[in-house]
Structure 1
Amino acid sequence: MTNWTIAGSLRVEPARERTDLLAEPVAKALAALPADAAAGVAEIDPELADTAKFCATYGSPLTASANCVVVSGKRAGEVRYAAALVLATTRADVNGVIKRRLDVRKASFAPMDEAVELTGMAYGGITPLGLPDGWPILVDKAVADAPELVVGSGIRGSKLLVTGATLAALPGAEVIEGLARAAG
């Protein structure tokens, strides 16, 4: 089992052994990863799933948290979706890098109910593992380079601990320099 240095006070267990703490599409995606891909899961209070509250309560560094956002845009009447994965200390460049990557006139965060329905995950727990086939997963280079990260698990009652390399190797993942901008 991996010794997660970013876990703070979390009790981390092997994610493949605790699929009860994962949304169904996340558990399926995790099962498809190579056997040596490190993935831990920790149960948390669902009321503390939002990144800032989570980090403050459990002592996990904000700099080791990554947020996954669902972005959409239209082109010729077709809605195009992507997931963007950026460090919690940054913001996704939705109307620059992501808009160009999707080749749409305007990109925006997908409405909450739409994101939940399409992903099969809880809002506030959406993660890059288990997203719909064909969606690009845009991974900021800082995320890909991170040795350990905390991300959503598909539900609000737990968090996944993974490596940036694992996220960068997901089907449909594209590592993009400059996907994120400094928050502020």
Structure 2
Amino acid sequence: MWSFAGSLQPEPAASRPDLLAAPVAHAVAALPEAGSVGVAAIDAGLADTAAFCDAYGVAAADSANCVIVKGKRGGDVRFAACVVLATMRADVNGVVRRRLDVRSASFAPMEEAVALTGMEYGGITPLGLAAEWPILVDAAVAASAGVVVGAGIRGAKLFLPGAVLAALPGAEIVEGLGRPIG
């Protein structure tokens, strides 16, 4: 089922809440398609995408990164999660800034992202985020038969079809959200 998992052998995520941050475990349990979501334990020191892909034989094109973006307009602060393939970079200053309708947008500071999500830095995932936040999913991620994302902790990864991410509450498929790196 999770043929893109490299050397890892995922288990159904719903049966392993010990490998998920609390908000992620709640979100997985609420998914109608929870059976299509797998989880595998990894070395927490290898949670960063390049190290993870190298160590476990997962292609970067099968990995997706979730970044929290903070935008401001006057005194109003808005957050969004952006999900792009690991081979791409989120267009924060263009696509995301316009979507949030803010004057400036940037990656949320690590401490703030961790505090607001209830997840570990390097493991933040779109599952289990604040209901009022938009989840911007690059069209390439949504179309993917399977991607690897964080599990809310650095010591695990989730394996799921891109369609599951695209169907999350608050998710929007965004063409051109990801820009090629380099």
Question: Structure 1 unaligned runs (5+)?
Answer: none
Q: Is the 8 A contact 1:37 1:166 kept in 2?
A: no
Q: Percent identity?
A: 66
Distance in structure 2 (CA, Å) of the matches to 1:174 and 1:11: 30
Q: Does 1:174 align with 2:172?
A: yes
* Equivalence for 2:57: 59
Distance in 2 (alpha carbons) for counterparts of 1:91 and 1:128: 16
Which residue of 2 is the match for residue 81 of structure 1?
A: 79
Describe the SS at the equivalent of 2:77: strand
After superposition, the C-alpha distances for 1:100-131 in whole angstroms (9 at most, x for unaligned) are 00000010000000000000000000000000
AA aligned opposite 1:14: P
Deviation, 1:37, is 4.9
Aligned equivalents of 2:34, 2:96: Cα separation in 1? 31
Partner of 2:133: 135
The 1-side partners of 2:170 and 2:115 are apart by 20
Partner of 1:93: 91
Say if 1:49 and 1:36 are closer, same or farther in 2 by CA, change over 3 A. Answer: closer
RMSD over aligned Cα atoms: 0.8
Q: What are structure 2's unaligned runs of at least 5 residues?
A: none
Matched, 1:116 2:110: no
> In the alignment, does 2:167 pair up with 1:154?
no
**Equivalent pairs, count:** 182
Runs of 4+ in 1 over 4 A off after TM superposition: none
Report if the CA contact (8 A) 2:13-2:34 is conserved.
no
Q: CA offset at residue 36 of structure 1?
A: 5.7
Letter in 2 for 1:109: F
Which of 148, 161, 164 matches 2:162?
164
User: Using the alignment, how far apart are the partners of 1:176 and 1:63 within structure 2?
Assistant: 18
TM-score scaled by length of structure 1: 0.97
TM superposition score normalised by structure 2 = 0.98
